[in-house]
Structure 1
Amino acid sequence: MGTSSSFSSFSGRLAGHGGAHAVEIARHHGVDTMFTLSGGHVFPIYDGAVKPEPAVRLLDVRHEQTAVFAAEGVGKLTRRAGWAVVTAGPGVTNAVSGVATAHFNGSPLVVVGGRAPDSRWGQGLLQELDQPPLFAPITKRAWTVHETAGIGPAVDEAFTLANSAHRGPVFLDVPMDRLYDQAEVELDGRGPAADRAPDPEAVAGIARLLGEARRPVLVYGSDVWLDGAERTALEVAEELGVPVITNGQGRGVLPGGHPLLANRARGLALGNADLVVVVGTPLDFRLNHGLFGGRDGAPPAKTVHVTDSPARLATHLTLAGAASGDLSLVLRGIADGAKPGPEVERWRASVSETAAAAAATDREALGSGSAPIHPARIYGELNRLLDDDAVVIGDGGDFVSYAGKYIEPAKPGNWLDPGPFGCLGTGMGYSVAARLSRPSSQVVALFGDGAIGFSLADVDTLVRHRLPVVMVCGNNGVWGLEKAPMRMIYGYDVIADLTPQTRYDEVVRALGGGGELVTDPAEIGPALRRAFDSGVPYLVNIATDPENVYPRKTMGV
Structure 2
Amino acid sequence: MRARRGAGGRGPASGTVEGHGGALAVAAARAHGIDTMFTLSGGHVFPLYDGAVGAEPALRVIDVRHEQTAVFAAEATAKLTRRPGLAVLTAGPGVTNGISAVATAWFNGSPMLVLGGRAPAFRWGSGALQELDHPPLLASITKRAATVHDTDRIATEVDAALVLADSPHRGPVFLDVPMDVLYDRAEVTLPAAVRPAPAAPDPDLVAVIADLLVRAARPVLVLGQDVWIGGAEHAARRAAETIGLPVVANGMGRGVLPAGHPLLAGRARVGALGGADLVLVAGAPLDFRLSYGGFGGQGGGPPARVVHLADAPPEATPHGHCAVRACGDLSALFDAITAAWERVGRVGMYRDWAAHVRAAARTAAQSDAPLLGSAGRPIHPARVHGELLRLLDEDAVVIGDGGDFVSYAGKYIEPARPGGWLDAGPYGCLGTGLGYALGARLARPSAQVVLLLGDGAAGFSLMDVDTLVRHRLPVVLIVGNNGCWALEKHPMRMLYGHHVAADLAPSTRYDDVVRALGGAGETVARPEQIAPALRRAFASGVPYLVNVLTDPEAVYPRSTMGV
Q: TM-score, normalised by structure 1?
A: 0.97
Aligned counterpart, 1:183: 186
Alignment partner of 1:322 is 2:325: yes
Query: Alignment partner for residue 142 of structure 1, among 140, 145, 148?
Result: 145
Aligned counterpart, 1:541: 547
Q: Distance in 2 between matches of 1:405 and 1:499?
A: 27
Aligned counterpart, 1:254: 257
Conservation of the 8 A alpha-carbon contact between 1:213 and 1:341: no
1:5-404 aligned within 5 A: 11-189=14-192, 191=194, 193-338=196-341, 339=345, 344-404=350-410
Residues 84 and 192 of structure 1: CA distance in aligned 2, closer, same or farther (over 3 Å): closer
Alignment partner of 1:467 is 2:470: no
Superposed CA offset, 1:499-523 (max 9, x none): 1110000000000000000000000
Conservation of the 8 A alpha-carbon contact between 1:212 and 1:340: no
Structure 1, gaps ≥5 residues long = 1-8
Q: Distance in 2 between matches of 1:553 and 1:376?
A: 18
Q: Distance in 1 between matches of 2:195 and 2:504?
A: 53
What amino acid maps onto 2:453 in structure 1? F
Q: Distance in 2 between matches of 1:64 and 1:267?
A: 38
DSSP 3-state at the match of 2:281: strand
Shift of 1:193: 3.0
Residues 187 and 51 of structure 1: CA distance in aligned 2, closer, same or farther (over 3 Å): closer
Conservation of the 8 A alpha-carbon contact between 2:372 and 2:383: yes
Shift of 1:12: 1.6
Conservation of the 8 A alpha-carbon contact between 2:379 and 2:551: yes
Query: Alignment partner for residue 424 of structure 2, among 418, 426, 436?
Result: 418
Shift of 1:491: 2.3
Conservation of the 8 A alpha-carbon contact between 1:212 and 1:341: no
Aligned counterpart, 2:3: none
Query: Alignment partner for residue 444 of structure 2, among 438, 444, 447?
Result: 438
Query: Alignment partner for residue 557 of structure 2, among 546, 551, 554?
Result: 551
DSSP 3-state at the match of 1:450: helix
Superposed CA offset, 1:356-381 (max 9, x none): 00111111111100000011100110
Conservation of the 8 A alpha-carbon contact between 1:211 and 1:341: no
Q: Distance in 1 between matches of 2:189 and 2:56?
A: 21
Say which is worse superposed, 236-245 or 331-340, in terms of deviation: 331-340
RMSD, matched Cα:
1.3
Conservation of the 8 A alpha-carbon contact between 2:477 and 2:545: yes
Superposed CA offset, 1:193-218 (max 9, x none): 33411111111111110111000000
Query: Alignment partner for residue 526 of structure 2, among 506, 520, 526?
Result: 520
Q: Distance in 1 between matches of 2:488 and 2:424?
A: 18
DSSP 3-state at the match of 1:451: helix
Superposed CA offset, 1:82-132 (max 9, x none): 100010000000010010000000001110000000011111111111000
DSSP 3-state at the match of 2:499: coil
Conservation of the 8 A alpha-carbon contact between 2:26 and 2:55: no
What amino acid maps onto 2:522 in structure 1? E
Shift of 1:317: 2.8
DSSP 3-state at the match of 1:419: coil
Conservation of the 8 A alpha-carbon contact between 1:14 and 1:152: no
DSSP 3-state at the match of 1:362: helix
Q: Distance in 2 between matches of 1:37 and 1:498?
A: 29
Shift of 1:554: 7.0
Regions of 4+ moved over 6 Å: 554-557
Conservation of the 8 A alpha-carbon contact between 1:214 and 1:341: no
Alignment partner of 1:477 is 2:497: no
Say which is worse superposed, 334-343 or 457-466, in terms of deviation: 334-343
Q: TM-score, normalised by structure 2?
A: 0.96
What amino acid maps onto 2:435 in structure 1? G
Conservation of the 8 A alpha-carbon contact between 1:68 and 1:95: yes
Residues 95 and 340 of structure 1: CA distance in aligned 2, closer, same or farther (over 3 Å): farther
Shift of 1:267: 1.1
Q: Distance in 1 between matches of 2:198 and 2:210?
A: 22
Q: Distance in 2 between matches of 1:55 and 1:86?
A: 19
Superposed CA offset, 1:506-545 (max 9, x none): 0000000000000000000000000000000000000000
Aligned counterpart, 2:9: none
Q: Distance in 2 between matches of 1:190 and 1:171?
A: 18
What amino acid maps onto 1:167 in structure 2? R
DSSP 3-state at the match of 2:370: helix
Shift of 1:268: 0.9
Shift of 1:188: 4.6
Superposed CA offset, 1:274-308 (max 9, x none): 00000000000000000001111121100110011
Say which is worse superposed, 191-200 or 501-510, in terms of deviation: 191-200
What amino acid maps onto 1:87 in structure 2? T
DSSP 3-state at the match of 1:75: helix
DSSP 3-state at the match of 1:258: coil
DSSP 3-state at the match of 2:19: coil
Q: Distance in 2 between matches of 1:337 and 1:48?
A: 51
Q: Distance in 2 between matches of 1:500 and 1:189?
A: 56
Conservation of the 8 A alpha-carbon contact between 2:469 and 2:518: yes
Q: Distance in 2 between matches of 1:51 and 1:556?
A: 45
What amino acid maps onto 1:385 in structure 2? L
Query: Alignment partner for residue 406 of structure 1, among 393, 412, 421?
Result: 412
Conservation of the 8 A alpha-carbon contact between 1:206 and 1:322: no
Q: Distance in 2 between matches of 1:33 and 1:334?
A: 38
Alignment length (residue pairs): 549
Q: Distance in 2 between matches of 1:56 and 1:175?
A: 22
DSSP 3-state at the match of 2:472: coil
Structure 2, gaps ≥5 residues long = 1-11
Aligned counterpart, 1:5: none
Residues 202 and 465 of structure 1: CA distance in aligned 2, closer, same or farther (over 3 Å): same
Shift of 1:473: 0.2
Residues 508 and 187 of structure 1: CA distance in aligned 2, closer, same or farther (over 3 Å): closer
Shift of 1:336: 1.2
Conservation of the 8 A alpha-carbon contact between 2:483 and 2:507: yes
Conservation of the 8 A alpha-carbon contact between 1:245 and 1:262: yes
Shift of 1:341: 7.8
